[in-house]
Amino acid sequence: MASVSVRNVEKRFGDVSVMRGVDLDIADGEFVVLVGASGCGKSTLLRMIAGLESITAGEIHIGDRRVNDLEPRERDVAMVFQSYALYPHLNVRENMSFSLKLRKRAPQDIVTQIDKAASVLNLGQLLERFPRQLSGGQRQRVAMGRAIVRHPQVFLFDEPLSNLDAQLRIAMRTEIRALHQRLGATSIYVTHDQVEAMTMADRMVVMNAGRIEQVGAPLDVYDAPQTLYVAKFIGAPSINVIEGVIEDDRAATQVRTASGESIALLRGPGQGRRVSAAFRPEHVTMGAHGSLAGKVAVVENLGHETYVFVKTVDGEFCILINRDLRPRVGDAVRLIISSEHVHLFDSDTGLRLQ
């Protein structure tokens, strides 16, 4: 096991800069998830750590070794690919023993390792099969097995669950977490799925356009997003955003929206500042005397929770409600927004205010 440190890393393809100034420290044994929309650079960063992509500037250390100029095989990392990337001409046993054979490990040792991994991953029945004879989920397990038999310093996962169906994805999510708890190996996991990031990460790294937006424990990021981008990206359904101007006088601090409605705040960043106010669906309730007036547009019953989309002059907002309220489409309602849960971001920079 080892820590990983990324220092001021940059990536350019010709004149096009796709990543700049990325700094990240990953502790020994930590499970870190890189999350962001496609094209944000998360996979590129992972591949730079693996050595599959060159580093234009900056430094990457694994343990106490600087790995910038090391080949992937010299870095002692294992990687699980989105497409599984199993060797099609080798059976499951040979796929898993491939790296051990290259390292000239004793045959008896290899057999022991494979058997151990096979029992952990439930692959015992499949060892003699070829990849084309396996289902997606089974291939996924073999890919995991190929990684764990090596006992590498770092596990790298590149969207390993994207090709699975929803149910299997949830099952594998739990399984990978359990595996991590058992092996305690440093893991870096790339995904575009913020639910995966929330549920699996010790710490998550939200990336956008080749930069790191925020690093933190999932709930810390959820509760205190540092940028408007993070606020919008993390959480499903998405956070509600409304544009407005701060009004701060002796009587009250509030955001005045374009339509003239106002949202009360506990404190403000200064009179006249243009802000984006954001609040999550669970921090709004419906009532007779709220700050925004609107009509119910859509009701989504998910069973354990019910979301209502309310259309107002200032846009459409999502609210998490008690299912017993049974609102009907077309009902006129007012929204009561919990002041202490309103996040304020600068309208121009998107940075958190306060």
Residues that bind another protein (CB under 8 A): 50-52, 71-73, 77-79, 81, 83, 85-91, 98-99, 102-103, 130, 146, 150, 156
CB of 96 to another protein, least distance (A): 10
CB of 133 to another protein, least distance (A): 11
Which residue, 146 or 352, has its beta carbon nearer to another protein?
A: 146
Contacts of 11 (CB under 8 A, 6+ apart): 17, 18, 19, 20, 41, 44, 48, 53, 55, 56, 210
Which residue, 150 or 169, has its beta carbon nearer to another protein?
A: 150
CB of 85 to another protein, least distance (A): 4
CA–CA gap between residue 281 and residue 70 (Å, rounded):
48
CB of 94 to another protein, least distance (A): 9
CA–CA gap between residue 214 and residue 8 (Å, rounded):
15
**350 near 229, Cβ under 8 Å?**
yes
Which residue, 150 or 173, has its beta carbon nearer to another protein?
A: 150
CB of 331 to another protein, least distance (A): 51
Token reading at 208:
């956008």
Buried b (16+ CB within 10 A) or exposed e, 235-246: beeebbbbebeb
The SS3 of residue 50 is helix
Half-sphere CA count of 118, side-chain side, radius 13 A: 19
Which residue, 34 or 310, has its beta carbon nearer to another protein?
A: 34
- Provide φ and ψ at 204, rounded to 5°: -115, 150
Which residue, 150 or 352, has its beta carbon nearer to another protein?
A: 150
CB of 89 to another protein, least distance (A): 4
**211 near 18, Cβ under 8 Å?**
no
CB of 100 to another protein, least distance (A): 9
Number of H-type helices and E-type strands within the chain: 8, 20
Which residue, 73 or 323, has its beta carbon nearer to another protein?
A: 73
CA–CA gap between residue 59 and residue 159 (Å, rounded):
24
Token reading at 134:
């396996």
Which residue, 129 or 232, has its beta carbon nearer to another protein?
A: 129
